[in-house]
């Protein structure tokens, strides 16, 4: 079973804030919400507890997106701040009842890929260790990123997940298409991605998968901007077909600017498929 939802509070929510967003998502018939903490995690424990209670009352699952300002491959002070942001996302996310959180692991910068990879693995291992030490029960997931200058290809995600126990992938299929210049846009290619995940991490990885989908535009440097599903060349219906045929379960987050409209479009299209 796939649960569909928005990234952030639905646009039609009458009031700001995640608690109201959860209620609105439930009214709309969505099953999930990703808390978009992309500009920083600023929340007290009482607010997190209120979110947890509301999500439970509405039977809405939650995930979180950690701040964008994370680079496990930067200078030592940047890595230190990145790690603390990630651990704080894990702590508060778990307190909200979120089952998973995702983040963009790093920029390569001027580092050699092998050196960048070593640093990222070290950083990930520390994040998992620190999150466990504070008892945060939440998936730690590196996201498939939209630009080749950002670490986070499918191959890298799977290698990190295999090498660092506790790390799992967040598969942004739209980013994969954008970072690879329009490849990965057919049923066969989507199915191949899912098969690669299953082969690397086992069937259970497909039974609890964190997925992002959006319309998207790309240029020579990869991702340019997200766009509504109705306007995009990204083959999201073929993707839904592959997810259905391979009986993938988990959370599908619409990162489209037409937030709930596109989350519902994905959900309805998926549910109508035999
Ligand atoms: Zn992201």
pLDDT tens per residue across span 50-98: 999 999 999 999 999 999 999 999 999 999 999 999 999 999 999 999 9
Measured CA to CA, the distance from residue 55 to residue 120 in angstroms comes to 33
Per-residue model confidence as pLDDT tens digits over 134-186: 999 999 999 999 999 999 999 999 999 999 999 999 999 999 999 999 999 99
Find where tokens 């300002």 sit.
Answer: 69
Residue 159 Cα, ligand 1 centroid: separation in angstroms?
A: 19
Residue 103 Cα, ligand 1 centroid: separation in angstroms?
A: 6
Strands (E) in 15-89, as ranges, are: 32-36, 61-65
Residue 68 Cα, ligand 1 centroid: separation in angstroms?
A: 8
Average pLDDT over residues 17-45: 96
Kindly list the distances between the CA atom of residue 104 and the CA atoms of 2, 18, 49, 164, in Å, as whole numbers in the listed order: 23, 22, 26, 16
Q: What are phi and psi of 140, to 5 degrees?
A: -105, 110
Domains of the chain (ranges, CATH numbers): 2-272 (3.20.20.150)
Per-residue model confidence as pLDDT tens digits over 4-14: 999 999 999 99
201 Cβ contact partners less than 8 Å away, ≥ 6 residues apart? 158, 161, 162, 168, 169
Let me know: does 217 contact 224? Beta carbons within 8 Å.
yes
Residue 64 Cα, ligand 1 centroid: separation in angstroms?
A: 10
Residue 187 Cα, ligand 1 centroid: separation in angstroms?
A: 23
pLDDT at 42 over 90: no
Parallel, antiparallel, or unpaired for β 61-65 and 100-103? parallel
Residue 40 Cα, ligand 1 centroid: separation in angstroms?
A: 13
């Amino acid at each position: 079973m796939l649960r569909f939802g928005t990234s952030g509070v639905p646009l039609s929510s009458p009031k700001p804030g995640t608690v109201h967003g959860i209620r609105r998502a439930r009214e709309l018939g969505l099953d999930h919400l990703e808390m978009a903490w992309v500009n920083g995690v600023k929340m007290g424990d009482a607010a997190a507890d209120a979110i947890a209670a509301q999500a439970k009352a509405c039977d809405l699952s939650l995930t979180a997106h950690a701040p964008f300002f994370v680079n496990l491959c930067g200078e030592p002070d940047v890595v230190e701040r990145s790690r603390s942001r990630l651990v704080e996302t894990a702590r508060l996310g778990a307190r909200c009842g979120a089952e998973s959180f995702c983040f963009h692991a790093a920029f390569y910068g001027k580092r050699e890929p092998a050196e960048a990879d070593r640093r990222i693995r070290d950083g990930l291992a520390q994040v998992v260790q620190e999150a466990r030490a504070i008892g945060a029960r939440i998936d730690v997931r590196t996201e498939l990123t939209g630009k080749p200058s950002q670490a986070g290809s499918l191959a890298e995600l799977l290698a990190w997940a295999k090498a660092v126990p506790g790390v799992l992938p967040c598969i942004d299929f739209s980013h994969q298409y954008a970072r690879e210049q329009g490849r990965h846009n057919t049923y066969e290619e989507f199915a191949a991605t899912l098969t690669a995940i299953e082969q690397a991490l086992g069937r259970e990885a497909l039974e609890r998968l964190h997925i992002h989908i959006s319309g998207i535009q790309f240029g020579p440097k990869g991702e340019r901007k997200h766009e509504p599903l109705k306007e995009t060349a990204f083959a999201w219906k073929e993707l839904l077909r592959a997810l259905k045929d391979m009986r993938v379960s988990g959370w599908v987050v619409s990162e489209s600017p037409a937030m709930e409209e596109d989350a519902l479009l994905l959900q309805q299209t998926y549910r109508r498929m035999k």
